[in-house]
Amino acid sequence: MNSEYPSQLLENAVNQFASLPGIGRKTSLRLVLNLLRRSQTDVLNFTNSLVNLKNEVKYCRICHNISDTDVCSICSSTRRNRQLVCVVENIQDVMSIERTGQYNGLYHVLGGVISPIEGVGPNDIEVESLVSRIVPEQIEEVVFALPATIEGDTTNYYIYKRLQPFNIITTQIARGVAVGNELEYTDEITLGRSIINRTEFKG
Amino acid sequence: MNSEYPSQLLENAVNQFASLPGIGRKTSLRLVLNLLRRSQTDVLNFTNSLVNLKNEVKYCRICHNISDTDVCSICSSTRRNRQLVCVVENIQDVMSIERTGQYNGLYHVLGGVISPIEGVGPNDIEVESLVSRIVPEQIEEVVFALPATIEGDTTNYYIYKRLQPFNIITTQIARGVAVGNELEYTDEITLGRSIINRTEFKG
């Protein structure tokens, strides 16, 4: 055998799965052999779910979240507070905030954050479409919910500057000690900032 | 939104990936979104590798290892020692033993081990085809390389009994302290057996 694998077909499939993030070659082989043990119909259901997603998926033309329709269910909902727009990096972040049940406004998915190191500038993400959404009488507040990283902060600041001409409120989600965490295990920067940014305790 | 996911197409794909062993829903979402960012061609290469494997894969009619041909490259090789047959549970085990570079005989892939608890009997695995391979003048030794579990031991014993009418040697791969392991961290059963089954030290 020239190859480590007894079959070229097997090797091809293993190579494909191993190209996914966090999937090594051993895990990949395990996943492929698991699929191989299934029926032909099951394998087709698996692959069709991907092909259909790739071919038919839409992105909401207002907030750029993934959607089955031109305008997503959040942007078209009459039950949401349309004066509030929460700016997030990606689709997963929308899902995370929705799961909290604590937010009832709209979203804007940037599709990334500004990162000079990775060559991502303001024009590579959905900043212009955010700015063009801002109609001062209709939108009251923009909430930044970007990652608490240098790239997230840079993006916050860039968008903040772009929104200054409009007379709207800009806020940022709270940073501090995570609920349930011991102070002892909270990193110094987070703990330091949580002291500076302490809020009134209303017993 | 009724569902946690903003798109039914996305949810379908996430469900499919989450049906794989060891892949949770968060990991599944990450994998699907990674594929979604790729080109249509890349997604088709991914799914075709699976469909082709499922439709075209063969199993060697002698050893039952996965193969692109009717008889696999090991069984058809003239460079292998054809008097030696190593009995393994599955395809991965063939690959593991091949990687050691220490074995030059043939294989027999059972496709499982006898497990009364999981309802796997001798007829559910490739035992009969092993017995029918045994031609005393042609095969000298059968090496058991099954897992060191109760199921592996049961299967070893069952096959051993079936092979007794033939006048061939049956061996088992060595069990003991793993190379590089401290005795302190070796479990008691392994350590105990490695004392009982000590081998001559040839300084």
Interface of A with B in 93-152 (CB under 8 A): 94-95, 98-99
Residue B178's contacts (CB-CB under 8 Å, 6 or more residues apart) are: B186
Average model confidence (pLDDT) across chain A:
92
What does the block give as tokens for B128? 């009969």
Please indicate whether, in this complex, the C-beta atoms of A29 and B72 are within 8 angstroms of each other. Answer: no
A46 close contact with B: CB closer than 8 A: yes
Instruction: Report CB contact under 8 Å: B9, A92.
Output: no
Residues of A with Cβ-Cβ distance to B98 under 8 angstroms: 1, 4
Q: Do B12 and A49 touch (CB under 8 A)?
A: yes
- Quick check: B127 and B159 in contact, CB under 8 A? yes
Chain B residues closer than 8 Å to A43 by CB: 50-51, 54
Predicted pLDDT of residue A121: 96
Share above pLDDT 90 across residues of chain A, in percent, rounded to a whole number: 79
Residue B99 to residue B102: CA distance in whole angstroms = 8
Pair of tokens at residue A166: 């409009």
Give the pLDDT of chain B (203 residues) as one tens digit per residue: 457 899 999 999 999 999 999 999 999 999 999 999 999 999 999 999 999 999 999 999 999 999 999 999 999 999 999 999 999 999 999 999 998 889 999 999 999 999 999 999 999 999 999 999 998 789 999 999 999 999 999 999 999 999 999 989 999 998 888 888 888 888 888 888 888 888 777 76
**How far is the C-alpha of A152 from the C-alpha of A191, rounded, in Å?**
19
User: Nearest CA to A105 among A150, A197, A168, A199?
Assistant: A168
Token pair of B186, please? 């070796």
Ordered by where they begin, the domains of chain B are 8-55 (1.10.8.420), 66-172 (3.40.1360.10)
Q: Where are the alpha helices (DSSP H) in A37-90?
A: 40-56
Q: Which of B104, B170, B107, B172 is nearest to B142 (CA)?
A: B170
Rg (CA), chain A: 22
Sign of CA dihedral A94, A148, A173, A156: negative
Confidence class for position A177, pLDDT limits 50, 70, 90: confident
Q: Given an 8 Å threshold on Cβ–Cβ distance, is A57 in contact with B34? A: no
3 state DSSP class of B87: strand
CB contact under 8 A, B9 and A52: yes
Instruction: Give tens-digit pLDDT for A57-90.
Output: 999 999 999 999 999 999 999 999 999 999 999 9
